Structures are given as C-alpha cells and as structure tokens.
Amino acid sequence: MDLSLATRTVDNNTIIEVGGEIDVYTAPKLREQLVSLVNAGSHHLIVDMEGVEFLDSTGLGVLVGGLKRVRAYDGSLKLVCTQERIVKIFRITGLTKVFPIYTSIEEALAGGPRE
C-alpha cells in the first residue's frame, strides 16, 4: 500500500497527516517530506498517525531523524496516535520517552495530556 501525506498549518504548527504503511520502501517519502518542511521553515510539526496501518523501525528512524532536525531549531515534533498496535512499537523501543504522543490534534496543539 502506498503512503499518503497531506499537510496543513494551524497556529504555527504544521500538521502532517500520514496514511498507509510506513516501511523500508515508503519511509523515504516521509523522510523527504519532513526534510522539506524543516528546510522551508516549519519547525513545529505534528505527525498525525491515525491513518497509519503499519509502522516498522525504518519509520521510527525517519521520525527520530525528523525530531533531531527540528530540535536544531528549538522546534518540536509531536505525534498523534491512538492505535495501540502502532504505539506499541514506540513503547517496546523506549521511544515513548522521546516522542510526545497525543490522542488528538487538539491535544497536541494545546500541549495537553499525553499517551
């Protein structure tokens, strides 16, 4: 399944809606999008993963790379995900300690309660 990406801006945050599967084949497309956004000056990113059907370590690597890039500009990269099967992979790799994961875009924008 292909990867779909859509972006929109809300209150100085760029929201990236991701759909489909993030794996070794499609992850470069997400990486390209994140790099492009950061280079264009978008340093506060919210990755909406509610439409993600599969995520592997390649995808994790892309997200970590994105986090590193925005941090260089004192920016942020937040995740929105309520799917346990996706959150699980963050949990078993310890990356829940690294990424703020929210249950909705609204919470992410407000910087409210996290997963």
Partner 1 sequence: MPTVELRFSPRAEHVRTARLVAAAFARRVGVDEDLLDEVRLAVGEACSRVVGLHRRHQHREPVTVTLSSENGRLCVAVSDQIPQEAASLPVPVELGNGTALPDLEGDFDNETQLDAMALAVINGLVDDVEIHTGLDGGVVRMSWPASSERAG
Residues that bind partner 1 (CB under 8 A): 1, 21, 23-25, 54, 56-58, 60-61, 64-65, 67-68, 71, 85, 89, 92-95, 97-98
The rounded distance, in Å, linking the Cα atoms of 107 and 61 is 24
Nearer Cβ to partner 1, position 49 or 60?
Answer: 60
CB 46 within 8 A of CB 105: yes
Q: How far is the CB of 106 from partner 1 (least distance, A)?
A: 27
The rounded distance, in Å, linking the Cα atoms of 45 and 32 is 14
* Structure letter (DSSP) for residue 41: T
Q: How far is the CB of 10 from partner 1 (least distance, A)?
A: 26
Nearer Cβ to partner 1, position 28 or 112?
Answer: 28
Q: How far is the CB of 8 from partner 1 (least distance, A)?
A: 27
**Selection from 114, 113, 106 nearest residue 13 by Cα:** 106
